[in-house]
Amino acid sequence: MSLNPRLVKESFSVIEPVAGKAAAYFYGRLFAENPHLRCMFPPGMDVQRDRLFSALTRIVWSLDSPDSMASFLGQLGRDHRKYGVLPEHYGAIGRALLATVRRFAADVWTDEIEAAWVAAYNAAAELMMRAAQEEAGVSPAWWVAEVVDHERRTPDIAVVTVRPTQRLPFTAGQYVSVQTARWPRVWRPFSIANAPRPDNTLRLHVRSVPGGWVSTTLARDTRIGDAIMLGPPMGTMAPPEPGSRDVLCVAGGTGLAPLKAIIEQIIASGRRPGIHLLYGARTAAELYDLPDLLRMESAFPWLRVVPVVSGDPAYDGMRGRLPEVTQRFHSWAEHEVYVCGPAAMVGETVRRLQEDGVPPARIHRDVTHDER
């Protein structure tokens, strides 16, 4: 049976409004039928349920773009090695998924829809298994990394430098998932805040969020010499192609991390595009990386760093909210644009940029990391 993206999308749109219930049913069914799989997942499943649905949403909506589906599923397959997922697990996952969509789309379900889901799942599982298999023997399923530096920049934000014990190749703009010894099987994504370095170190910008297990452990309770685990690099945000346009980066809070990596990579490439970095925080004290950015600016005259403060009327510099400041600052229609930060800020900034004529293909945004 060949893929039928339309039937999968139509039936999936019936399930989307009850995504939470469907994800809970899926895991309940998976663990009831395969109790041995439960130990591969964290004790608290809330984040996992959200992840399942966001991955599923992404797969379903990219079913008619084979390249982007293959690239996403390849990364997902490589990433799932760190959970210990093996080819034999895909059958069990497929059965639980099919039972879930059949139940939650019961009102519209037909044999054709069932066949379309089976074909789509088999194709997706095949891409994930193949990518995982190709990686086995070439790269570890996860990396152990030693914390070699830990700076508390604000009461809530730390810049953590780690050195994996084996080389971890990545592209500027990508992220890794992190597991700490305190919270086994709980993985949270953080962007790598530097371009690849000869000494193999990676920097992470971590804001401890209330109730965030991994972020709080990393920001407050981690010391030099501690070991953490890193999953394989993920994400498709990457530096612009050589010879391309001037660059705008709009960073909200710790959303700065991947944009700093991209700027470092552009500088290291020897190219000289003009780069504007609008770097926003609520107060001047929250601009936790400004001294470092100003050093980069003075070493690279084509970079202009513009701190923007949204919550302090007495701030003696650019004031306002990032989406509005971005819009009134300049016309960016000819730029390559990168936006990263809180999801609502990213959405609003992207909307305004498009309104002002920046084509969507030239706007690069990170996945949000709001689950930590």
Ligand X SMILES: NC(=O)C1=CN([C@@H]2O[C@H](COP(=O)(O)OP(=O)(O)OC[C@H]3O[C@@H](n4cnc5c(N)ncnc54)[C@H](OP(=O)(O)O)[C@@H]3O)[C@@H](O)[C@H]2O)C=CC1
- Contact residues for ligand X, defined by CB under 6 A: 190-191, 205, 207, 252-255, 257-258, 280-282, 286, 310-311, 321-323, 340-342, 344-345, 348, 366, 368-370
**By C-alpha distance, which of 291, 145, 297, 165 is closest to 224?**
145
- Of the pair 47, 119, the CB lying nearest ligand X is at 47
Give me the least distance between CB of 19 and ligand X, in Å please.
20
- Residue 257 contacts residue 191 (beta carbons within 8 Å): yes
| Least Å from the CB of residue 133 to ligand X | 30
- Of 221 and 370, the one with the shorter C-beta distance to ligand X is 370
Burial of 326 per CB tally in 10 Å (0-12, 13-18, 19+): buried
Question: Which residue lies nearer to ligand X by CB, 96 or 262?
Answer: 262
Is 202 within 8 Å of 152 (Cβ atoms)? no
- Centre a 10 Å sphere on the Cβ of residue 41 and count the other Cβ atoms it contains: 15
Minimum Å gap between C-beta 111 and ligand X is 42
Nearest to 155 by CA among 311, 255, 286, 310: 286
Shortest distance in whole angstroms from residue 348 CB to ligand X = 5
Of residues 7 and 230, the one with the C-beta less far from ligand X: 230
**Closest approach of ligand X to the CB of residue 327, in Å:** 12
CB closer to ligand X, 82 vs 372:
372
Nearer to ligand X, 26 or 170 (CB): 170
Sheet of 175-180, strands arranged across: 188-191, 175-180, 227-230, 143-152, 157-164, 202-207
**Selection from 167, 139, 168, 171 nearest residue 236 by Cα:** 171
Q: Which residue is nearest to ligand X (CB)?
A: 253
Who's near 68: CB < 8 A, 6+ residues apart? 62
* Min CB(194)–ligand X separation in Å: 12
Residue 193's nearest CA partner among 208, 176, 209, 169 is 176
